[in-house]
Structure 1
Amino acid sequence: MRLDGVDVRWPGAAEPSLKDVSLTIPAGSHVAIVGPSGAGKSTLLALLLGFLSAEKGSAQVPDKVAWCPQEPQLVSTTIRENLRLGSPDASDEILKQALTDAGLGHWTDRLDSLVGMVSGGEADRLALARALLAAPQADLVILDEPTAHLDVPTAKAVLSGLAQNLKGRTLVHVTHRPEEAADADMVIRVDAGRVA
């Protein structure tokens, strides 16, 4: 992915949220995006996801993206059907492996259970499992604070499993945890609409 002199503006905004951004993300790299709230991280993700276009400059972004959003949207149906949003034809064995890889191994016998009331951490991990299922068909995997609702040991275990599963894939991971950013190949800091 390559951005050259890019400005990005949300519809109706007076000023661009990102200004004069130039960066290259090598294929197969793990990139951590860090920065304070309101700095432009969500705008950068919206550009990479194709939700926003560059107002100025040029942006080469992937066609197919697997995405685990910061606020996962779960459907009021079974765990199996929620997972199959990421890969409609996945076998039960593949679904169970995705649950295990996302730290929900204790759910592998609950594929026919309704999602119902789940904790924030469980919702995050279910959305993460869904993104893992979509990852093999994607050019880019974006994880937007996937460990925000997890304690440090659980977050570390989940991310360790992800690193193995997504080896060779381009991964962009938004985090507020310095120890997570330290494991990335590249760290991008977004602050006041600028990228370093």
Structure 2
Amino acid sequence: MALDGLGHTYPGALRPVLADLNLSVPVGEHIAVVGRSGCGKSTLLSVIAGLVEPTTGTAAVLDERRPARRLESCALMPQGDSLLPWLSLLDNVAISLRNQRVRRRVARSEAQRMLDRVGLGAWSDARPSALSAGMRQRAALTRALLARKPVLLADEPLGALDAITRAEVQQWLRDTITHTSATLVMVTHDVDEALLLAERVVLLARHEPDAPARVVSTWPGWFGDDRPREVLLGDEDFATARREVLQALARESHLTEGGTDR
């Protein structure tokens, strides 16, 4: 994935939300994008996915710049679970294959296999209303993974969960994405989450009020370290990395204090 000199201005807006943004993500890398609310993180995902065309610069996924081709290569992990209440858990997950014109029987078989793998197989006939928030979110993430797209785009995928459930699903997601070769670009406000789930953490920020956002800093993440989440959170080096990211976020927030978010 390559973003070169990328910028975007929404119709009628007085200023661009993104400008001169450069980012290269090798195939299979997991990155997390952090930044204050309104700095353009969700816009960035929309551009990558081909849902929004950049005003300036270029966006390419697997060397393909055409929006429809970029969209074909991407699966979205949403903030909410987005499960259809009238369908069983199995059919909700199978949608990701049915949308690719896979036959219903084959799609359901693949979905059941995936649900078994992530510990939700016993709930395949249940409606979403019968499941906990954590189970529903795991199902939504499983649906995105089942699509087997080369790029996974995650927009605050765990943002709607309470702290305890979020911690549990973070560990589950960390274990699950270890076994995928897909490229992951995740937006999150949780610095611990960014460090745990990514190989690289990218700070998107403005240098002054009302300026467009750019990539201003990067740090190595801790994805690939197979120690449990609780152990990593207590690690001295992890704590140092967390402090550096939080300090950078605080500096950028101070620089842009008084600006108008979009």
What TM-score, normalized by structure 2, do the two folds share?
0.65
**Structure with the bigger percentage of strand:** 1
Root mean square deviation, CA, Å: 2.2
**Structure with the bigger percentage of helix:** 2
Aligned AA for 2:90?
R
Shift of 1:100: 5.0
| Cα distance change, pair 46–101 in 1 and its aligned pair in 2 (3 A) | farther
Task: Tell me which stretches of 4 or more aligned residues in structure 1 moved more than 6 Å.
Answer: none
Partner of residue 175, structure 2: 161
Aligned AA for 2:5?
G
Structure 1 residues 35-70: Cα deviation after superposition (integer angstroms, max 9, x where no partner) = 111111101011111111111112213441011111
Distance 2:26 2:171 in 1: 26
Answer whether contact 1:125 1:146 (CA < 8 A) is retained. no
Higher relative contact order (CA 8 A, sep 6+): 1
Partner of residue 190, structure 2: 177
In structure 1, which of residues 177, 187, 190 is the aligned counterpart of residue 201 of structure 2?
Answer: 187
Answer whether contact 2:115 2:142 (CA < 8 A) is retained. yes
Q: Bigger shift: 58-67 or 87-96?
A: 87-96
Partner of residue 110, structure 1: 123
Answer whether contact 1:101 1:158 (CA < 8 A) is retained. no
Aligned AA for 1:54?
P
The unaligned stretches of length 5 or more in structure 2 are: 62-69, 207-212, 217-262
| Cα distance change, pair 91–143 in 1 and its aligned pair in 2 (3 A) | same
Q: Mapping of 1:39-50 within 5 angstroms?
A: 39-50=39-50
Answer whether contact 1:140 1:169 (CA < 8 A) is retained. yes
Answer whether contact 1:101 1:162 (CA < 8 A) is retained. no
Distance 2:59 2:80 in 1: 26
Distance 1:156 1:100 in 2: 19
Answer whether contact 1:9 1:16 (CA < 8 A) is retained. yes
The unaligned stretches of length 5 or more in structure 1 are: none
Partner of residue 79, structure 2: 70
Larger Rg: 2
Distance 2:12 2:91 in 1: 36
Tell me the number of residue pairs that the alignment of Structure 1 and Structure 2 aligns: 190
Shift of 1:191: 1.7
Identity of aligned residues (%): 33
What TM-score, normalized by structure 1, do the two folds share?
0.84
In structure 1, which of residues 141, 150, 173 is the aligned counterpart of residue 152 of structure 2?
Answer: 141
| Cα distance change, pair 70–111 in 1 and its aligned pair in 2 (3 A) | same
Answer whether contact 2:154 2:186 (CA < 8 A) is retained. yes
Answer whether contact 2:31 2:201 (CA < 8 A) is retained. yes
Answer whether contact 2:128 2:136 (CA < 8 A) is retained. no
Answer whether contact 1:2 1:23 (CA < 8 A) is retained. yes
| Cα distance change, pair 77–155 in 1 and its aligned pair in 2 (3 A) | closer
